[in-house]
């Protein structure tokens, strides 16, 4: 029986196929497979894989199809790619040899009179390959209509997903072609796709790219009750959720009135605040995106007049009695250990309000920029002599207790934290923050294996300003990456498209783990470009921001807030 008969008969198993093809009785076919011819067809096949992979990537890019990884490699990206490429090489060699063999057998039996006509079956097989690739790549289901299960992870490891091959399965070589084409249409496209625009798993959620809306104070809430003002704020967040699969981190939000207070900044303790935030989260979810609430307590950075207008008994508090130089009187009062426990509980309650009542996907604890948690972490402010001060372990105690309390309420996978080791904003800036923050991140790493993410401010930016902590630019936060990656890590710090690509890809070349976990937060350019992920991916020019409209207290007109154009509108 010839191979042509094999393909048109009942679908064989691999063992039956090798039995039916007795190469000892077909010496001419083997002799015609010269090394040069084999090399030529093998090279042609590999070249076709690269071309088709790039074409598929370009098609996904042009049609705005799911980015990078439609078959869900997840966090096994690197291992999958290595295994898939090895599998592709082996399968492509077999596939090329098979095509050549069929052509020569047809010539040998007089079924074709010339090599030119022998390309007809080759063309048919190639069409099968392409059709299979399109179906396998863009199918919404892992199981295809004709019974083939698409391989969605390492090919050499996961072969059991399409075995055994029996009488109800497609012919072996068709299956082989489909798998090879699936690899070429997905993996090669992924290889040439910047990491910034590939999916990432964040707790229970799958983001479609690594571009994150940074937490941005905008002061559009009500003056005295700190209620988000809708529909203005709802429209603002909804616009920035317009690219599906985007992660938004809300503006800093007070966990309680006594933990503030600034006028026109939002809170999450009252029913009115929770209801307003629920409208916002519903709008974000309707766009297919996700939103975390940033939990905020000011400590010594609070506006005392706003605090006492809310309640005359409220006062400035901190880890110690060291005031900010810009506001030396009155001096903040150090929290007692009982009050520290109370604040820990306030964080937990606020997290529960956010996730269980207001509909947020998770929370980010604000532990940076000289606010309350940072006032405990950094020794320039924390001069305590009890269990919350002095040693690195003691200064990290409050932050770790807050994280534990929040995790107990909403779960590890819905909890993140922002830190800023190098930021001198609000008179922070330890001489050497590495021991403190190395310990803190190591503790998070060991205590909370399913922690959603850490959000780290780079030394090139601090607080709401753009001045770099230049003396630390050479070291930066690589010491944190070495501890935390490949777990999700957001980096923030005046990133532009080029520097974001460098951070996610060039650092990833030195440390492959970075490609698995690294995300980039954008602030000011996300204000002026509501569709920023799309603009960055397609390299569309960015709309400049207007700094004078960043903080229009209580404004509901949308000026400098919801009136920035989308890319399509900007082209008109």
pLDDT digits (tens, 9 = 90+) for 253-275: 999 999 999 999 999 999 999 99
Are 52 and 44 in contact by the 8 Å Cβ rule? The answer is no
**pLDDT at position 449, please?**
97
**pLDDT at position 198, please?**
86
**pLDDT at position 194, please?**
80
pLDDT (mean) for 63-92: 44
Sign of the alpha-carbon dihedral angle for 531, 532, 536, 539: positive
CB atoms within 10 A of CB 286: 10
Are 450 and 203 in contact by the 8 Å Cβ rule? The answer is yes
Q: How confident is the model at residue 505 (pLDDT cuts 50, 70, 90)?
A: confident
**pLDDT at position 20, please?**
41
- Secondary structure (DSSP) of 425-440: GGG---S--HHHHHHH
**pLDDT at position 51, please?**
55
Mark which of 143, 171, 193 sits at the end of a domain.
193
The answer to whether residue 571 is domain-embedded is no
CB-based contacts of 8: which residues, under 8 Å, 6+ apart? none
On the question of pLDDT at 117 being above 60, the answer is: no
Boundaries of domain holding 77? 3-193
The answer to whether residue 365 is domain-embedded is yes
On the question of pLDDT at 490 being above 80, the answer is: yes
Looking at the structure, tell me whether residues 185 and 209 fall in a common domain.
Answer: no
On the question of pLDDT at 175 being above 50, the answer is: no
Tell me whether strands 200-202 and 205-207 are parallel, antiparallel or unpaired. Answer: antiparallel
Q: How buried is 568 (Cβ within 10 angstroms: 0-12 exposed, 13-18 middle, 19+ buried)?
A: exposed
As a whole number of angstroms, the distance between CA 155 and CA 179 comes to: 9
**pLDDT at position 568, please?**
83
More confident position, 25 or 394: 394
As a whole number of angstroms, the distance between CA 70 and CA 56 comes to: 12
Looking at the structure, tell me whether residues 214 and 121 fall in a common domain.
Answer: no
What's the pLDDT tens digit per position in 419-439? 999 999 999 999 999 999 999
- Residue 267 pairs with which residues in a beta bridge? 254
The answer to whether residue 570 is domain-embedded is no
What's the pLDDT tens digit per position in 181-195? 444 444 444 444 688
More confident position, 76 or 199: 199
Active site positions, annotated = 371
On the question of pLDDT at 177 being above 50, the answer is: no
Q: How confident is the model at residue 30 (pLDDT cuts 50, 70, 90)?
A: very low
Mark which of 144, 162, 193 sits at the end of a domain.
193
Looking at the structure, tell me whether residues 144 and 216 fall in a common domain.
Answer: no
The answer to whether residue 298 is domain-embedded is yes
Looking at the structure, tell me whether residues 49 and 116 fall in a common domain.
Answer: yes
The token duo for 388 is 């919350």
Dihedral over alpha carbons 219, 458, 403, 215 (to 10 degrees):
20
Looking at the structure, tell me whether residues 384 and 309 fall in a common domain.
Answer: yes
Q: Note the pTM of the prediction, 2 decimals.
A: 0.70
The answer to whether residue 343 is domain-embedded is yes
Looking at the structure, tell me whether residues 26 and 133 fall in a common domain.
Answer: yes
CB atoms within 10 A of CB 572: 5
pLDDT (mean) for 230-236: 98
On the question of pLDDT at 151 being above 60, the answer is: no
More confident position, 37 or 386: 386
**pLDDT at position 195, please?**
84
**pLDDT at position 4, please?**
43
Q: How confident is the model at residue 32 (pLDDT cuts 50, 70, 90)?
A: low
Are 335 and 320 in contact by the 8 Å Cβ rule? The answer is no
- How many separate domains does the chain show? 2
The answer to whether residue 184 is domain-embedded is yes
Q: Where are the alpha helices (DSSP H) in 389-448?
A: 392-395, 397-410, 434-447
Q: How confident is the model at residue 119 (pLDDT cuts 50, 70, 90)?
A: low
- Residue 362 pairs with which residues in a beta bridge? 292
The answer to whether residue 535 is domain-embedded is no
More confident position, 216 or 465: 216
Looking at the structure, tell me whether residues 166 and 257 fall in a common domain.
Answer: no
Say which range, 17-31, 41-55, 119-133, 444-458, has the weakest mean pLDDT.
Answer: 17-31
Q: From residue 480, how far is each of 190, 372, 393, 453, 518 by CA, in Å?
A: 27, 22, 17, 12, 12
**pLDDT at position 516, please?**
82
Looking at the structure, tell me whether residues 241 and 154 fall in a common domain.
Answer: no
The answer to whether residue 54 is domain-embedded is yes
Q: What CATH number is given to the structural domain containing 405?
A: 3.20.20.70
Looking at the structure, tell me whether residues 338 and 404 fall in a common domain.
Answer: yes
Q: Mean pLDDT, the chain, as a whole number?
A: 77
Looking at the structure, tell me whether residues 186 and 203 fall in a common domain.
Answer: no
**pLDDT at position 327, please?**
76
Let me know the angle formed at the C-alpha of 79 by 75 and 80, rounded to the nearest 5 degrees: 80
Looking at the structure, tell me whether residues 268 and 214 fall in a common domain.
Answer: yes
Q: At what angle do helices 434-447 and 397-410 cross, to 10 degrees?
A: 30
In three-state secondary structure terms, 261 is: coil
Say which range, 127-131, 181-185, 369-373, 407-411, has the weakest mean pLDDT.
Answer: 181-185
Which residue is listed with tokens 């999700």?
488
Are 246 and 290 in contact by the 8 Å Cβ rule? The answer is yes
Looking at the structure, tell me whether residues 70 and 219 fall in a common domain.
Answer: no
Mark which of 523, 539, 558 sits at the end of a domain.
523
């Amino acid at each position: 029986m010839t191979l042509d008969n094999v393909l048109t008969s009942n679908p064989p198993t691999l063992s039956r196929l090798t039995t039916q093809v007795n190469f000892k009785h077909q010496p001419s076919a083997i002799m015609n497979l010269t090394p040069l011819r084999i090399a030529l067809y093998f090279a042609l096949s590999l070249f076709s894989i690269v071309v088709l992979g790039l074409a598929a990537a370009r098609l996904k890019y042009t049609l705005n199809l799911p980015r990078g990884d439609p078959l869900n490699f997840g966090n096994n990206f690197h291992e999958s790619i290595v295994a898939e490429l090895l599998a592709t090489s082996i399968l492509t060699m077999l596939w090329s040899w098979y095509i050549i063999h069929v052509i020569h057998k047809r010539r040998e039996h007089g079924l074709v009179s010339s090599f030119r006509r022998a390309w007809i079956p080759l063309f048919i097989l190639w069409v099968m390959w392409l059709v299979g690739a399109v179906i396998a790549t863009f199918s919404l289901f892992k199981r295809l209509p004709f019974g083939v299960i698409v391989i969605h992870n390492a090919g050499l490891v996961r072969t059991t997903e399409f075995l055994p091959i029996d009488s109800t399965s497609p012919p072996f070589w068709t299956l082989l072609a489909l798998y090879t084409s699936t690899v070429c249409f997905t993996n090669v496209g992924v290889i040439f796709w910047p990491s910034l625009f590939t999916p990432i798993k964040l707790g229970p959620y799958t983001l479609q790219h690594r571009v994150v809306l940074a937490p941005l104070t905008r002061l559009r809430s009500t003056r005295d009750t700190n209620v988000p003002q809708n529909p203005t704020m709802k429209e603002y967040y909804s616009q920035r959720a317009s690219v599906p699969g985007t992660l938004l981190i809300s503006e800093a939000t007070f966990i309680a009135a006594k933990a503030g207070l600034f006028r026109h900044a939002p809170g999450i303790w009252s029913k009115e605040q929770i209801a307003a935030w629920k409208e916002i989260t519903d709008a974000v979810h309707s766009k297919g995106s996700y939103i975390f609430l940033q939990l905020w307590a000011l400590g010594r950075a609070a506006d005392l007049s706003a605090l006492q207008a809310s309640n005359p008994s409220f006062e400035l508090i901190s880890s110690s009695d060291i005031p900010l130089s810009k506001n030396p009187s009155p001096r903040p009062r150090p929290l007692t250990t009982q009050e520290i426990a109370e604040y820990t509980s306030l964080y937990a309650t606020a997290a529960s309000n956010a996730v269980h009542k207001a509909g947020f996907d998770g929370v980010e604890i604000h532990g940076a920029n000289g606010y309350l948690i940072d006032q405990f972490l950094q020794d320039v402010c924390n001069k305590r002599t009890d269990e919350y001060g002095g040693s690195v372990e003691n200064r990290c105690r409050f932050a770790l207790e807050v994280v534990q309390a929040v995790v107990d309420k909403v779960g590890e996978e819905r909890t993140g934290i922002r830190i800023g080791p190098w930021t001198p904003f609000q008179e922070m800036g330890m001489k050497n923050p590495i021991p403190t923050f190395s310990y803190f991140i190591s503790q998070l790493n060991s205590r909370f294996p399913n922690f959603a993410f850490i959000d780290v401010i780079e030394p090139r930016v601090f607080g709401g300003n753009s001045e770099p902590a230049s003396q630390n630019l050479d070291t930066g936060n690589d010491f944190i990456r070495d501890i935390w990656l490949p777990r999700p890590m957001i980096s923030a710090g005046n990133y532009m498209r080029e520097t974001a690509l460098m951070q996610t890809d060039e650092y990833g070349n030195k440390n492959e783990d970075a490609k698995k976990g690294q995300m980039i937060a954008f602030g000011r350019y996300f204000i002026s470009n509501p569709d920023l992920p799309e603009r960055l991916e397609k390299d569309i020019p960015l709309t400049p921001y207007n700094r004078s409209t960043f903080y229009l207290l209580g404004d509901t007109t949308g000026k400098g807030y919801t009136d920035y154009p989308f890319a399509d509108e900007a082209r008109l």
